[in-house]
Amino acid sequence: MEHVCTTMNAVKIEVIVNSSSGPGHAEEIENTVVEAFKTAGVDARISMARTGSELLNLAQRAARGDAEVVVAAGGDGTISSVAAALISTNKNLGVLPFGTMNHFAKDLRIPLDLDGAVETIVAGHLTQVDVGEVNGHVFINNSSLGLYPIIIHKRQKQQRLGWGKWPAYIWAAFGVLRRYPFLNVRVAIDSAELNSRTPFVFIGNNKYEMETLNIGGRAHLDKGELSLYMTNRTGRLGLVRLALRALLRGLHQEKDFLALCTKEIWIETRHKHVRVALDGEVARIVPPLNYRARARALRVLTPANDPASRRK
């Protein structure tokens, strides 16, 4: 990864906080973030986003504003939304990982504690990383079709009815897996074409590890490629078997599991619209879906040592 070191003494920093993430209520979170930057000797403008639309508006405003560094404080969905607004600008992304999984921060070795993450931003070490894009929608981690976006869609419906996030997720997953819908897709990669009836298609921004202890992580975010993972006509028990094989010995040798890397993917379905998961959020997109890698399109403040070289 390409690295640049800059000084934060006179740099303007804008922080966008997802108020539904983080340790405590919105006012507590705001005060905690303000104090963390003051302790690090840096003033920062703090904006609280209470809804998804407010988050997008704040991110777009920050992309047009005078801050050199725009910090996303929240989970992977929050970070992805802010990152998407910063693509094609000269602004740098800072990350305060307030989410449940924090995949992007973990893969870049950004500290998960607030003070450590703020120190990383203030240190000013810059890394250029790739993003994925599908029909104009940007993602920093992954995108998927099939079971997962349907589960997320149903979970969100239950949350709007007052359910908690995890009870809603479990209810949605149980309902979707009971019906277990398949998706008919035509996948075009380079000069090859594949027709499949599959429960899911997973596209990653760079290669995901599929071997035992490292499963789900990425060693590199700057190879300029997408990873594609899918299975053909696998039932519920087949998915359980694949999950167990992944934990015990990895998936690359599984005959029913396709894994490959490329720079561009076309996916066609017979549906007029298809639900697509993008870093945990769901969008309805008109096919065909054109996935492409955008090499080193995002500038992120990371620890000084190359995050990719430390994951072995």
Query: Using a CB cutoff of 8 Å and minimum separation of 24, what contacts does 61-65 make?
Result: 62/14, 62/16, 62/86, 62/91, 63/89, 63/91, 65/14
Q: Is residue 210 part of a domain?
A: yes
> Is residue 54 helix, strand or coil?
helix
Q: Do 61 and 22 share a structural domain?
A: yes
Number of domains in the chain: 2
Check: CB of residue 267 under 8 Å from CB of residue 145.
yes
Q: Is residue 129 part of a domain?
A: no
Separation of alpha carbons 60 and 63, rounded Å: 5
From the number of C-beta atoms within 10 Å of its C-beta (0-12, 13-18, 19+), residue 296 rates as: middle
Domain that holds residue 256: 139-294
Read off the pTM. 0.84
Q: Do 278 and 206 share a structural domain?
A: yes
Q: Do 198 and 58 share a structural domain?
A: no
274 CB-side CA count, 13 A: 27
Q: What is the CATH number of the domain that holds 15?
A: 3.40.50.10330
Q: Is the bond leading into 307 cis (omega within 30 degrees of zero)?
A: no
Q: Rounded to a whole number, what is the distance in angstroms from the first to the last CA of the chain?
A: 15
Q: Do 194 and 281 share a structural domain?
A: yes
Find tokens 């994951």 and name the residue: 311
Q: Do 245 and 165 share a structural domain?
A: yes
Q: Do 143 and 119 share a structural domain?
A: no
Q: Is residue 74 part of a domain?
A: yes
Q: Do 288 and 146 share a structural domain?
A: yes
Q: Is residue 307 part of a domain?
A: no
Q: Is residue 215 part of a domain?
A: yes
pLDDT tens across the length of the chain (312 residues): 444 444 455 689 999 999 877 555 667 888 899 999 999 999 899 999 988 899 999 999 999 999 999 999 999 999 999 999 999 899 999 999 998 889 999 999 999 999 999 999 999 999 999 999 999 999 999 999 988 887 887 777 777 777 777 787 677 777 766 776 788 899 999 888 888 888 889 999 999 876 654 557 898 999 999 999 888 766 555 555 555 455 445 555 556 668 889 999 999 998 899 999 999 899 999 999 999 999 999 999 999 875 543 443
Q: Is residue 259 part of a domain?
A: yes
Q: Look at residues 123, 147, 163 and tell me which one is the last residue of a structural domain.
A: 123
Cα–Cα distances in Å, from 84 out to 25, 166, 231? 26, 27, 29
Q: Do 152 and 13 share a structural domain?
A: no
Q: Is residue 300 part of a domain?
A: no
Q: What is the CATH number of the domain that holds 170?
A: 2.60.200.40
Q: Do 14 and 156 share a structural domain?
A: no
Separation of alpha carbons 10 and 155, rounded Å: 44
Q: Do 103 and 22 share a structural domain?
A: yes
CA dihedral 284, 101, 131, 193 (to 10 degrees): -60
Strand ranges inside the chain, DSSP E? 3-5, 13-18, 45-49, 69-74, 92-97, 125-134, 137-139, 142-146, 183-189, 192-198, 200-205, 226-231, 257-262, 264-268, 274-278, 281-285, 289-301
Nearest to 27 by CA among 37, 19, 35, 16: 19
Q: Do 45 and 153 share a structural domain?
A: no
Q: Do 87 and 143 share a structural domain?
A: no
Q: Is residue 132 part of a domain?
A: no
